[in-house]
Structure 1
Amino acid sequence: MKLKEFESDTIIEPFRIRSVEPVRFTTMEERAQLLKEAGFNPFLLKADDVLIDLLTDSGTGAMSSKQWSGMIASDESYAGSSSFYKLESAVRDITGFKHLIPTHQGRAAENIFFTTIAREGDVIPSNTHFDTTRAHIEHAGAEARDLVIAEGHQPESRHPFKGNMDLAKLEKTIHDTGVDNIPVIMITVTNNSGGGQPVSMDNIRSVSEMARKYDIPFFIDACRFAENAWFIKTREEGFSGEKPLDIARKMFSYADGCTMSAKKDGMANIGGFLALNSDELASECRNLEILTEGFPTYGGMAGYDMEAVAQGLYEALDSDYLRYRIRSIAYLGDKLSDAGIPIVQPTGGHAVYLDARKILPHIPPTQYPAWSFNNALYLLGGVRGVEIGTVMFGRQPDGSEKPAAMELVRLAFPRRVYTQSHVDYLAEVIISVFRQREQLGGYKIVSGPTVLRHFSARLEPLDP
Structure 2
Amino acid sequence: MRSHKTTMVDDVELLPRQDREAALADAGYNVFELASDAVAVDLLTDSGTGTMSNDQWAAMMRGDEAYAGSSSFEDLEAAVADVMGFEHIVPAHQGRGAENVLYGALVDEGDTVLNNAHFDTTRAHVAANGADPVDCPVDGARDPDSDDPFKGDFSVETARRVVEDVGVDNVPAVVLTVTNNSMAGQPVSVENTREVAAFADDIDATFVLDACRFAENAHFVQQREPEFADDTVADIAREQLSYADACVMSGKKDGLVNAGGFVGLREQDDLYEACRQRGILYEGFSTYGGMSGRDMAAFAVGLREAVEPPYVEERVGQVQRLAGMLDDRGVPVYQPAGGHAVYVDANAALPHLPRDEYPGQAFVCELYLEGGVRGVELGRFAFPETERRDLVRLALPRRTYGPDHLEHVADTAAAVCERGDEVTGYEIVDEPEMAELRHFSARLEPLQ
Give the AA of the match of 2:388: A
Of 54, 57, 64, 1:65 maps to 54
Offset at 1:174? Answer: 2.2
Give the AA of the match of 2:403: Q
For the 8 Å contact 2:120–2:383, the answer to whether it is kept is: yes
2:295 aligned partner:
305
Residues 225-267 of structure 1 deviation map (CA, whole Å, 9 limit, x = unaligned): 0000000000111212111110010011111010001000000
2:360 aligned partner:
370
1:447 aligns to 2:437 (yes or no): no
Give the AA of the match of 1:455: F
CA distance in 2, matches of 1:316, 1:48: 29
SS of the aligned residue for 2:141 comes to helix
1:239 aligns to 2:239 (yes or no): no
Residues 59-87 of structure 1 deviation map (CA, whole Å, 9 limit, x = unaligned): 00000000000000111111111000000
For the 8 Å contact 2:248–2:263, the answer to whether it is kept is: yes
SS of the aligned residue for 1:312 comes to helix
1:179 aligns to 2:142 (yes or no): no
2:412 aligned partner:
429
Residues 433-452 of structure 1 deviation map (CA, whole Å, 9 limit, x = unaligned): 11010010110011120220
Give the AA of the match of 1:321: Y
For the 8 Å contact 2:151–2:187, the answer to whether it is kept is: yes
CA distance in 1, matches of 2:203, 2:380: 34
Give the AA of the match of 1:115: G
For the 8 Å contact 1:102–1:274, the answer to whether it is kept is: yes
1:31 aligns to 2:20 (yes or no): yes
Offset at 1:214? Answer: 2.2
1:343 aligned partner:
333
SS of the aligned residue for 1:330 comes to helix
SS of the aligned residue for 2:382 comes to helix
Of 304, 307, 310, 1:317 maps to 307
Offset at 1:13? Answer: 2.2
Residues 168-211 of structure 1 deviation map (CA, whole Å, 9 limit, x = unaligned): 11122223222210111001000001100000010001101111
Query: Which deviates more, 63-72 or 172-181?
Result: 172-181
Give the AA of the match of 1:336: L
1:456 aligns to 2:445 (yes or no): no
SS of the aligned residue for 1:151 comes to coil
For structure 2, the residue ranges without an aligned partner over 5 or more in a row are none
For the 8 Å contact 1:76–1:302, the answer to whether it is kept is: yes
2:256 aligned partner:
267
Displaced runs of 4 or more, over 3 A: none
2:39 aligned partner:
50
Give the AA of the match of 1:128: A
CA distance in 2, matches of 1:93, 1:14: 24
For the 8 Å contact 1:109–1:274, the answer to whether it is kept is: yes
CA distance in 1, matches of 2:106, 2:314: 39
TM-score scaled by length of structure 2: 0.98
SS of the aligned residue for 1:152 comes to coil
CA distance in 2, matches of 1:175, 1:335: 46
1:358 aligns to 2:341 (yes or no): no
2:198 aligned partner:
209
1:16 aligned partner:
5
1:115 aligns to 2:129 (yes or no): no
For the 8 Å contact 1:446–1:459, the answer to whether it is kept is: yes
In the TM superposition, 1:163-202 aligns within 5 A as 163-202=152-191
Of 403, 409, 422, 1:420 maps to 403
1:9 aligned partner:
none
For the 8 Å contact 2:77–2:87, the answer to whether it is kept is: no
1:411 aligned partner:
394
2:63 aligned partner:
74
1:124 aligned partner:
113
2:265 aligned partner:
276
CA distance in 1, matches of 2:266, 2:317: 35
Give the AA of the match of 2:98: A
Offset at 1:25? Answer: 2.2
CA distance in 1, matches of 2:87, 2:160: 28
CA distance in 2, matches of 1:273, 1:68: 21
SS of the aligned residue for 2:368 comes to helix
SS of the aligned residue for 1:391 comes to coil
Offset at 1:103? Answer: 0.2
Give the AA of the match of 2:229: S
TM-score scaled by length of structure 1: 0.94
For the 8 Å contact 1:97–1:256, the answer to whether it is kept is: no
For the 8 Å contact 1:188–1:220, the answer to whether it is kept is: yes
CA distance in 1, matches of 2:148, 2:272: 37
CA distance in 1, matches of 2:356, 2:82: 46
CA distance in 1, matches of 2:256, 2:2: 16
Residues 2-46 of structure 1 deviation map (CA, whole Å, 9 limit, x = unaligned): xxxxxxxxxx32211011001222111110111111111100000
Residues 339-395 of structure 1 deviation map (CA, whole Å, 9 limit, x = unaligned): 22211100000000000011112111111000000100000100000000111111x
SS of the aligned residue for 1:259 comes to strand
Query: Which deviates more, 184-193 or 204-213?
Result: 204-213
Offset at 1:323? Answer: 1.1
For the 8 Å contact 1:126–1:188, the answer to whether it is kept is: yes
SS of the aligned residue for 1:445 comes to strand
1:286 aligns to 2:271 (yes or no): no
Identity %: 48
Query: Which deviates more, 93-102 or 189-198?
Result: 93-102
Query: Which deviates more, 326-335 or 227-236?
Result: 326-335
Residues 280-318 of structure 1 deviation map (CA, whole Å, 9 limit, x = unaligned): 111011111111111101111110100111110111111
1:3 aligned partner:
none
For the 8 Å contact 1:31–1:378, the answer to whether it is kept is: yes
1:385 aligns to 2:375 (yes or no): yes
